[in-house]
Amino acid sequence: MERNDSLVLNMPLGAHLEELRARVIRAVLGLVPIFVISLLFGERLLQFLIRPALHALREAGQPDNLQGLGPLDTFGAYMKVSLIVAAVVGSPWLLYQLWKFVSPGLHMHERRFVYFLLPLSALLTMAGVVFLYLVILPMMLNWLVTFGTGVGQSRPDTQPLPPGVTLAHVPVLAADPTSPQVGDEWVNSTLHSRRVCIAILPDGKPDVLSATLHRDATIIQQFSIASYIGLLFTLTLAFAAAFQAPVVVLLLGWVGIINQKFLKKYRRYAIFTCGVVAALITPGDPASMIMMWIPLFLLYELGGVLLRIFPARRVAGPRPADDGAGEG
């Protein structure tokens, strides 16, 4: 059924605001069941997201655990992860409600641009998040942990044992023993912890306490869960935005601000700009800067390729005399 778009365009301001309010309510209500489901898997999601940090700490010989410095730190991180996952998973529903609000005021050829850009933007956002988690985040965390532990590091003095003194021997194991007895003590080299069995629980399982071990360092790397999750999602937003470079190039090309000659002429400036952006959204180590600079420049070049393949006239298609929005 065709809509009277001219009637939509001539709606009073109050009617537009009422339509906007209805769309916002529908968008929020649509996220509620997704948020509830994400709460059920919130612990697994949190464990998945902190895995790169734990790995970087473990590789550097530091305590491979995160700290909750306040009563609400862990719960707040749990809720933040669930909310963000709900927003990401429910983003198609949010975009659909936004589209239903703005589409009546667009001509048919204008809608074709949106049909092209929305999937492209979603794909680039996903690529940016995956690239951050799999490539940049581990590299960045490894560098930060190594840098932190290396500041002012010094070796303790050594000397021969005094006569008659012997050192205690604690077995070093790659995993906890299957059935330790009360009082047994060992070092778990995988967890970097010294562990002792203090009791046998009614279900037959050992009750084990542990003390975290770490390599000598002036600054012990111990991240708080709140600061780590905050950093992770700040980087996620930055990478999602940075990976929209092809969309920006397409939009500027479609409105006539830039063209292929412009992109070729100012390529050297684009290389410099990509380097600056890479330095801003990475911690500053050369490896992660280069690993970020290369994709950014490739995305810039991808924008030029897409602009060549999909010029504005091709995306818009033929424009009939009256293609939808009507006259006011």
Cβ burial of 222 (10 Å; 0-12, 13-18, 19+) is: middle
Q: HSE-up of 174 (CA within 13 Å, CB side)?
A: 0
Cα 282 versus chain centre, distance = 13
pLDDT of residue 173: 94
- The pLDDT averaged over each successive group of 10 residues in the chain (328 residues) is 48 74 88 90 88 87 83 87 82 78 70 80 86 89 79 74 88 92 92 91 92 79 87 84 88 84 88 87 77 89 88 69 45
pLDDT of residue 71: 86
Tokens of 10: 């001539």
Q: How far is residue 174's CA from residue 236's CA, in Å, rounded to a whole number? A: 35
pLDDT of residue 10: 59
For helices 13-40 and 73-89, give the axis angle rounded to 10 degrees: 120
Q: What are phi and psi of 210, to 5 degrees?
A: -140, 155
pLDDT of residue 126: 85
How many beta carbons lie within 10 A of that of residue 187, not counting itself? 17
Q: How far is residue 229's CA from residue 81's CA, in Å, rounded to a whole number? A: 8
Cα 306 versus chain centre, distance = 26
Element of type H or E holding 61: none
pLDDT of residue 319: 58
Give pairs for 150-159: CB < 8 Å, separation 24+: 150/217, 151/218, 151/219, 152/218, 152/219, 153/216, 153/217, 153/218, 154/216, 154/218, 155/216, 156/216
Q: Is residue 9 classed as helix, strand or coil in its secondary structure? A: helix
Cβ burial of 174 (10 Å; 0-12, 13-18, 19+) is: exposed
Element of type H or E holding 4: none
Domain spans of the chain?
A: 5-150+227-316, 172-212
pLDDT of residue 190: 84
